[in-house]
Structure formats: C-alpha cells, structure tokens
Amino acid sequence: MENKLHISVSPHIHSKRSTQKIMLDVLIALLPATIAGVVIFGITSLAVVAVCVGVAVLSEFLFNVIVKKQQTISDLSAIVTGLLLALNLPANVPLWQAAVGSLFAIIIVKCIFGGIGRNVVNPAITARVFMLVAFSSMTKAAFPLDSTAGATPLALLAEDKNAVSLQDLLLGNVGGAIGETCAVALLIGGIYLLVKKVITWHIPVAFIATTFIFTLAVHEFDFMLALSLVLSGGLILGAFFMATDYVTSPTTPLGKLIFGIGAGLITVLIREWGIYPEGVSFAILIMNILNPYIDSLTARKMFGGAKK
C-alpha cells in the first residue's frame, strides 16, 4: 500500500511568519541607527558593533554545543541582542569590555534561562546595566568626531536648557551611546517595525508620551526643554527597540500601555532625582521584572463568560 502522504494535525497552512523573519525585520529597522552611529562616532563604533555581534553569536553557538542543545543561532536573535548592546555602548568603550558585556547578555541572561523566549529580562538592557556598574568607562560618553562638547545632552541640558540645539538632537550630533543619538534614524526604524507589524504602537507611544508629560510637569511646562530631554539619551532607542521585546513585555494592548507608562515614570524619576543621568535602561529592567504581574492582571477576557 502506498503510504507516502504526510500526516499532521490541522492547520495545514501557515502564515509564514517566523521568529527568524521577525528578528530580520528588527535588524533591518536597526540599520539606519547603526549607520548613523558609525557616521557620527567614526569607525571605532563599527568595531564595537562587530565585537558585540560576533561574541553574541559565538557564545550562543558554543553554549548550545557544550550543553548539547539544538543550535539556535539561525533564529538571528543573538545578532539582535549583540547589535542592541553595541548601540547602547559608547564608541570609545574598550573592546574587551564590550566582549564581556555581550557574553554576559547571551550566557547569563539568555542561555542559562533556556535560550530565546525564556529570559526574564531583556539581555541587552541587563548587560548594559551590568557594564554600567562594573566598568567606569561606561559613565564617560563618547562624542561626535567633529564635536567640541564635553558632556552628554542630558548633562548639558541640566546646566543650561539652551545648551543643545534641537537639530543636533534629531540628527544625533551629540554625545552618547553609538545608536541612541540620532532620533531621525531611530524613528525611521521604529516606523518600519510598526508598518511590518512586528511591534504595536502601545509601548513606544505610552513610554515616550509619559516621559514627555512627566518631564514637562517637572520643568514648569517648558515645552522646548521637555522636547529636548525626550530626544536625549536612550529613550527613543529604548522605547522602540528594547521595551517592545516580546519576551519581556506584556501581550495585551492594555498591558503594553501600563508597561510603557510605568517605564516612562521610572525614567523621569531616575533622570531627575537619581544618581545616574539616564534612567531608560533601569526603567525597562524594572518593568521587565514586573511584566508577569502586568500580564496576568491584563489578560484578555474569554468569550462565553469563563468565570473570573
């Protein structure tokens, strides 16, 4: 009897959406910011990107080999983590420190918890926070090649609210991490993710709007200053690319809004009253930890009156 037919459970067709395609879209979306970073901060930033991505992929590969797990590097998520970490580092970070950070992100935060989808907190964010605590180089931001400024826009704006022009903030011609300064490039990437339906608007909009409104309230409704502060630091990068990480953010629209609002509030609290000038990473990290609770409190209601 011929018996070559494939047997499987329904559905027998698929949307063709895959983890790999989603990760590829994220990489494409990060491309403008990466290019902008290299243009603004010079070729050393490319070295940082190469080291972070290379170490991320290699460490995940070796981890899987050592623990005899199925190889997962083809899902591209390690590249995304490596690139996101690099974009969060200053261009003048010692390359060995970048390598340690990348190793930390992949092995400690991701692989040990079971690999993609199992991490509790965002690997790139956590590695950045780890580096901030471990290496003093992290507190000294890099500056654009043609810049004479000696501090990040967040520090400068704290001294003098007219110290940084809006144009420089939009184009990224200010001090900071490789991928966080050019707001225009980040927004192009963010819009790409929205159009491709990789992310929804809820988290970025809630995060940025909350930060803006809270900042406005703190600074006596100085609109231009609040706008400058929103465009400074890692907010745009964090809001579009890090806070929207599926694994560590809520699934329902309401949950996403709560997550974004919470992250915005914590960001401003740290920026205004904390000892660090920037609070985006800490804010996302804290919301990552709260995520399971937000998720269970905002679960979709089932049809047909499944009793609560």
Partner 1 sequence: MASKLRGIKLKSRKTTEGMHSVKMPAPKTVTIPMSMHIGKPVTPIVKVGSEVKVGTLIAEDTNNLSSPVYSSVSGKVTKLTDVTISNGNVVQMVVIESDGEMTIDENIKKPEINSKEDLVTAIKNSGMVGLGGAGFPTYAKFTSDKPVETLIINGAECEPYITSDTATMVEKSDDIKTAIETIVKYFNIKEVVLGIEKGSDEAQKKMEEVASAIQGMKVKVLPPIYPQGGEKVLIYHTTGKVVPTGSLPIDVGCVVINCSTMAGIGNFIKTGMPLVERCITVDGASVKEPKIIVAPIGTQLKDVFEFCGGFNEEPFSVLYGGPMMGVAVPDLTAPVLKQTNAILALTEKETAVPKETNCIRCGACVTNCPFGITPPAITKAYKNKDAEAAIKAGAELCMLCGCCSYNCPANRPLVQTNKLAKELVREFKMKEANK
Residue ranges binding partner 1 (CB under 8 A): 1-15, 17-19, 21-22, 72, 75, 77, 114-118, 246-247, 251-252, 299-306
- The least distance separating partner 1 from the CB of residue 245, rounded to whole angstroms, comes to 9
Instruction: Provide φ and ψ at 204, rounded to 5°.
Output: -60, -45
Measure CA 278 to chain center: 14
Residue 273 half-sphere exposure, CB side, CA atoms within 13 Å? 8
User: Exposure pattern of 173-199 as b/e (b: 16+ CB <10 Å)?
Assistant: bbbbbbbbbbbbbbbebbebbbeeebb
Nearer to partner 1, 25 or 278 (CB): 25
- Three-state secondary-structure class, residue 55: helix
Integer angstrom CA distances of residue 131 from 61, 103, 138, 141: 23, 11, 7, 13
Q: How far is the CB of 93 from partner 1 (least distance, A)?
A: 29
Residue in 44, 55, 45 with CA at minimum distance from that of residue 81: 55
Distance CA(255)–CA(251), nearest Å, equals 7
Output the smallest distance, CB 26 to partner 1, in A: 12
- Report in angstroms how near the CB of residue 292 gets to partner 1 at its nearest: 10
Nearer to partner 1 among residue 18 and residue 162 (C-beta): 18
Rounded Cα distance, 169 and 268, in Å: 18
Instruction: Please say which residue, 88 or 119, places its beta carbon nearer to partner 1.
Output: 119
The closest of 65, 122, 95, 102 to 289, measured between CA atoms, is 122
Q: Smallest distance, Å, CB 138 to partner 1?
A: 29
CB 230 within 8 A of CB 212: yes
Token pair 């018996």 in the structure block, residue: 3
Whole-number minimum distance, CB 61 to partner 1, in Å? 16
Between residues 143 and 207, which has the closer beta carbon with respect to partner 1? 207
Q: How far is the CB of 100 from partner 1 (least distance, A)?
A: 26
Closest to partner 1 by CB, 68 vs 301, is 301
Alpha helices in 88-182 (DSSP H): 95-103, 123-134, 153-159, 166-171
Nearer CB in complex with partner 1: 77/228: 77
Q: Which is nearer to partner 1, 21 or 140 (CB)?
A: 21
